[in-house]
A and B are shown apart, each in its own frame.
Chain A
Amino acid sequence: MPQLNVNGTQLHYQSLGQGSTVVMIHGLLLGNLASWYFGIAMQLAERHRVLLYDLRGHGLSEMSRHGYDQQTMVDDLEALLAHEGIGEVTLVGHSYGAMLAFQFALRDPQRVKKIVCVEGPWPLARGLEMDEFMGTDPEVMLSALPLELQKSLGSGSRQGRKLQARLHFLLQETGLLQQLKSEPEVSDQEWASLRQPILLIYGSHSKLADVPARLQKKLPSAQLSWLPGGHYLPSELPMELGRQIGAFIS
């Protein structure tokens, strides 16, 4: 189980396949690298090196109490890439992970070949809306998941209890929520500076379905693709999502 110590925090990552590097960044709270691993990452690994990692506080990375601001999270990714000796990358992010991909590209534009934004909340605070449950009862959060996932996490199960404990930790014992509310938004000038090919993928039933039209005003050359799902596309439609991402990055 590969682990890397970044600024005092252990991060868990996995690497699959060979070729040009694709980094996949999961969303906050309910996500971890397993959101991508089966299905999507395996598909992409037939032609690419796919690097997946757990954000701090998520999956098998350390339950850090600090560092949930975007710039620290971009530092984490930078350190991981340096450790793996990776230069140029294509970034694929889901939800908050997509916004991190944009932040990384703004910091280091030369390194980023392409960006795939799956259900990125913009403005960032829209992510809070997704999680209307946020700061409330973890049980309610679970009900926001696709049905199949809910079944596997049935309340009272070990998986359900572990997820609840994690949500409690992230929401109550870290600065994550406060950080999300106070994070500066990407400015018009910053959006205009992004020159990479960008693919936006959104779920037609998602609460964020109005976001891509507004994003396209800032990113006029970005491609837009709709999938018949909600916010959790990596879990809901992994095969179709993998195909769309694969066609765009190859």
Chain B
Amino acid sequence: MLEQIQESSIPGLKQQQILDELRDMIAGIIGQDVDLNDQDIDLNTSFNRDLELESIEFVVLSERLQLRYGQSLDFAGWLASKELQDIINLRVGDVVRFIEQCPS
């Protein structure tokens, strides 16, 4: 995992930090329903196949990402540009990299 940590374009925000925050958000959304101790969430984790996130839970994740990272992060807009199949196949790493490359 360590070699995947890179400098991000958001000052002070590194990939690992984004991943940790994303993990907390995911836990906040599905933690009551899913035993996340069984799931080591990493960049390769699939929202659909591994976490089995419902689309309505994806809406909540999107809302929380916007709240956390501000207006500069158009997460829903980024998803809007994708086909349904791409959204279904998204991995945690796709979202982390998207946040990383957004201007602060």
Contact = CB atoms under 8 A, between A and B. Distances in A.
Interface of A: 1, 14, 16, 32-35, 37-39, 41-43, 54, 59-60, 148-149, 151-152, 157-159, 162-163, 235, 238
Contact of B84 (A14, A37, A42, A148): A148
B88 A59 contact: no
Contacts, number: 60
Interface of B: 33-34, 48, 52-56, 58-60, 62-63, 76-77, 79-80, 84-85, 87-88
A148 B88 contact: yes
Contact of B77 (A14, A42, A162): A42
Contact of B48 (A38, A41, A152): A152
Contacts of A148: 84-85, 88
Query: For the complex, would chain A's binding face be called helix, strand, loop or mixed by DSSP majority?
Result: helix
A34 B79 CA distance: 12
Nearest to B53: A159
A165 to B, nearest CB: 11
A152 B88 contact: yes
Contacts of A16: 76
Given A151-B88, A152-B48, A157-B52, A43 B59 contact: no
A34 B80 contact: no
